[in-house]
Structure 1
């Protein structure tokens, strides 16, 4: 007998809850904001909308299903099961936060604050939840993801982009090359390397692409193609700037060998969940075989 599906509702602590936790009471939080020219009602209203959305989605879960909730901070300790249907209730970034922990489970994105969120990944309203859950997984977009794999088997997966460089604002030193580029390798000193997907092309990667006025075509979210950029490469007698941008097809890999005491790699802006690389280590970045199944 197969298990009934389990709805996993992913949410995050609201700004209002964080403020009250930090200042102790609603009144003290309100005083803190008012002293800086802000009204707590704006934050409290968003909190109420989020809680109403979460309650509405919870009520829409079929009675024959199991269900549970997980807060964003607990994702790295939560065990997802093959039969799960993941319902992200919040912002686009929350879908990216959960993506790397999944292995093919369908994801339904519910926008708690339409008009404030772009709605690229949280595409639906709370009132749509019942119908979406009834057909979850039947029609889903297979979004491309990016991965970095180190020579000591460390591995990190991301939905939008992976950044590899020095922690803080220090210069990253490394040797960069492409597997299929005839062995051409360049020593570089820069602010790091950014490799992104078509989903990430709505965020950080697009920002760099626009700044460079790059002729490279941005990939679509389902396309097996990545773009990569070196940020602020520094020319010197020992370092070059000829390999600063490009694209990676499905089988291609960007290879980076560390020549700094310590570099890190993190995905989707989550620097607290990073790989650490030391002098002489090599990391390869490319398209991940895993996909995010996002219910359209």
Structure 2
């Protein structure tokens, strides 16, 4: 007998909750904001909308289902199961934060603050939850499959991301590494053992990430190729601020990766971190001589439409 589906509600602390955790009381939080020219009233209204959305989503879970909740800060310690339906209640970025821990489970994005969030990934309202849960478990239910990027270290550490993966020094200072053969097109992407570089890091991004950090780099370089779409099996990579010197080069600074192609980075300094979608607290740490390969992940994000 198969297990009943489990609805996993993913949320994060609101700004109001963070203010209370820091200042202790509503009055102290209000005083802190007023001293900086802000009113707490709008913060409380957004908090209330978020709590209302969470209540409506929880109430929409069928009685025959199991349910669970996880806060953003605890995602790296939460064990998702194959039969889960993941309901992300919050902002677009929370979907990206969650995606790296999933293995193909359907995801429903619920926008708690319509008009304030772009709604690229949180596409639905809390009142639609019941219908979306049915669609997520129905045979032939529609989902958008969004390409993800994956980094795999030579010691088997593994990390996935929905928007982009950053490889570089902690604090975005100068990192030293060798960018090796990758089998991809790009500026300076020739054969051989690669190029030693000193830079503020390497960014490898997807089409979903092409509205943020990746787009900024793409515009800055004036790259002739177009940006990938969210479902395209294509990644773009850029080296940030590569520094030329007698021992480091700048010929391999941008390129494209298709399915089956990988970018290899070998560490030539004390420490390099690899993290996805801005979550540096959950990073791979590599040291002298270690290498990491980055390419299209074998798993996509299945976003319920």
TM-score, normalised to structure 2, is: 0.95
Q: Does 1:199 align with 2:211?
A: no
Q: Is this contact kept in 2: 1:179–1:255, CA < 8 A? A: yes
Q: Report what 1:46 is aligned to.
A: 46
Q: Does 1:17 align with 2:20?
A: no
List alignment gaps of at least 5 residues for structure 1. none
Taking the TM superposition and a 5 Å limit, the aligned residue runs for 1:98-117 are 98-117=98-117
Shift of 1:55: 0.8
Shift of 1:246: 0.6
SS in structure 1 at match of 2:136: coil
CA deviations on 1:62-81 (whole Å, 9 max, x unpaired) are 12211111111111111111
SS in structure 1 at match of 2:17: helix
Shift of 1:237: 1.7
Q: Report what 2:146 is aligned to.
A: 143
Shift of 1:100: 1.3
Q: Is this contact kept in 1: 2:16–2:44, CA < 8 A? A: yes
List alignment gaps of at least 5 residues for structure 2. 184-189
Q: Is this contact kept in 1: 2:76–2:282, CA < 8 A? A: no
Quickly say closer, same or farther: Cα 1:74–1:169, change in 2 above 3 A.
closer
Q: Does 1:125 align with 2:134?
A: no
TM-score, normalised to structure 1, is: 0.97
Q: Report what 2:187 is aligned to.
A: none
Moved over 3 A (4+): none
Q: Report what 1:264 is aligned to.
A: 273
Q: Is this contact kept in 1: 2:274–2:283, CA < 8 A? A: yes
Structure 1 distance, partners of 2:226, 2:294, is: 19
Structure 1 distance, partners of 2:2, 2:178, is: 51
SS in structure 1 at match of 2:299: strand
Q: Report what 2:299 is aligned to.
A: 290
SS in structure 1 at match of 2:147: strand
Shift of 1:197: 0.6
